[in-house]
Structure 1
Amino acid sequence: MAQLFISYRTSDGKDKATALARDLGALFGDEQVFLDKDDLRAGVSWRAEIAATLRARPVLLLLLTPELLTAIDGNGRLRIADPADPVRRELSDALTGGAHVIPLLCDGLDAPPTAADLPEPFNRIGEFTWRPLRAYDWQHDLARLVDDLRALGIVAAGPAATNGGQSATPTASARRRWLVPALAGAVFALGVGWYAVQRSPTTAAARPSATDPGDVTGAWLATLATDETLSLSLRQSGDQVELNSRPVAIGRRADWADYRRFWRERFGSELDFVTYRGKGSASSLPGDRLVIDIALQIVSSPGDTLTDTGNLHATLGADGTTMTGTLWLNSKQAERPLRLVRTPKSN
């Protein structure tokens, strides 16, 4: 039974709940994290399934978003005041079952609401220690939450959490969450770099065939937008893939302005370059093209201080020289299209 239950308002908490489930699942094991959209079985009563999970006394992670507290129904009444409201039922069942509750203050709320002003059972959340969970400081907030969960006795479970996340037969839930390796999640929670990827020499393109899905080892140019490209090096060994990038200049990038300001205030220095690193899997079914799935870390360059995490998911083209896929960054809470072109080996 899952030890961690994520409760959220779908209207403005779904993306953050999904990212939180993915990162906690990478560390503690997907089977330890209950997220309704992934873990409700077909043909069962969703209320009964959730109630049964909460009776097992998991830790309830309550995502406090603006809509969770202020959403109204068709009659203009607060949804959290309605005994039938799903989020209210989840919190009520958790408290009745003796679960530990951790309210997570999300973006859009500058301070915890006054619990005494909230309807039951939300008027009890003041009894518990609050934690922030902000997109712009995702790694720091998540690391602190992970420390809290470990202090509560939450431990990794299952082979996916004890074998670097590279289970030979990943579960359906793990595939839905992009097979983020547990090793990456564990070490970014500590807020330090977790391995050094050595750049490998580029090799000739391995053209996929009916029996050989190909190899992605070599240099690649990744295009995220018309004016944004990354020079990447990939190294494949069997079903394992490592990624490293050249330093990326962010000093003039508008999308990094807020984080650079935060960095300046926190460390008293400028953040002008970052490097992408990653480790993941390469897999294919018979007759299908090779798919790579890589857990990413974006670190300062120099310094290797973690600034962001995410995921790269791409499929190798039939000619072995291109890949198309998506890039997810937790700080953005959004997915971007991605195209990679193999760089010819220089003589």
Structure 2
Amino acid sequence: MAQIFISYRREDSPEAAGRIYDRLKSHFGEKQVFFDIDSIPPGIDFRDYISESVSKCDVLIVIIGERWFARDDNGVSRLEDPSDFVRIEIEAALKRGIPVIPVPVGKAKEPAEAELPTNIKDLHYRNSSEVRSGTSFEGHIQRLIDGIENATNEVLTPHKLEDVEEREEKYSEKRKSGKWKVLLGIVLAISVAVFAVWSFYQNDSKPDKSAAARATEATKVVEDTRNNEELPLKELYIRTSKDSPRVAVGEKATLYVTVKDKEGMVIEDATVLISSGGGKFLESDNTTYDPATRLHGPYSVSGKTKQNGVFTSWWVCKPCAKAYVMTVTVSKEGYKNKKSELTVNIK
């Protein structure tokens, strides 16, 4: 499972970093998100300690606030100091070649290449994912989560897997208990049937309707017991993505919904329903439309996942809101219905 390292300056953006950490922790699980180096053991080279911590992660999130450069009295950025914690974290991640996602917060912008030391200039070329406060926060944080999942090919979140495993354990106990109920029901049915046959021959070979009725009831007991032995519904896992982080007004967006099971195996023929609340869903990638006209309705689309477990749809809008948070619902016989969201940001 993906390990996420959050790099930030405490004097720059502690509140934004804390809020982002809470959402990532909620989605991926607390054990998967590394937030703070609270204490470095005495006598340990902090450069090695930080590098080792970053080496255990699969993606680095660099939170950039308005004071991220933290210049001294002479106007020199702290990033110019080779011993700067943030610089060491970024250097270590870039050397390992893992995804590094700049996350501008507040009014900050992504740093220009000229503002960065030579060893971390590549940060300028890493695609950023801004997270602003206010009404934009939910859409931005979902886009960041999507970006992390896309960068790490993460589908199943570990804390959800732990919950599923715990439930499977409970269901296993129920199944064992249910099997004993069925066995007892069969024994009871056999006993009643034997009694019915004995009663039949004890009445001068005249059919004893009450005995036959009792035999029928015994058979029904077995059937009811079997019917009551319901197997638990399995869990579905959804991953939503799109071909572009932002689309322009009148520009077609390709949306993907990938469905898998607990073991990460793709699910074919799952029913997917996407509702946008605006814009227009297209029947296929080849469907023509006039981007100069008003594009509205239908506001939802449904279909089945293919052999690769993916359902693909196409959507456009004009006029457009700043962002659309679409509802994704997936259903499949033998599985619990699953809901998720897919955010499409507009340029």
TM-score scaled by length of structure 1: 0.43
- Structure ID, larger Rg: 2
- Greater per-residue strand proportion: 1
The structure with the largest helix share of the pair is 2
TM-score, normalised via structure 2 length: 0.43
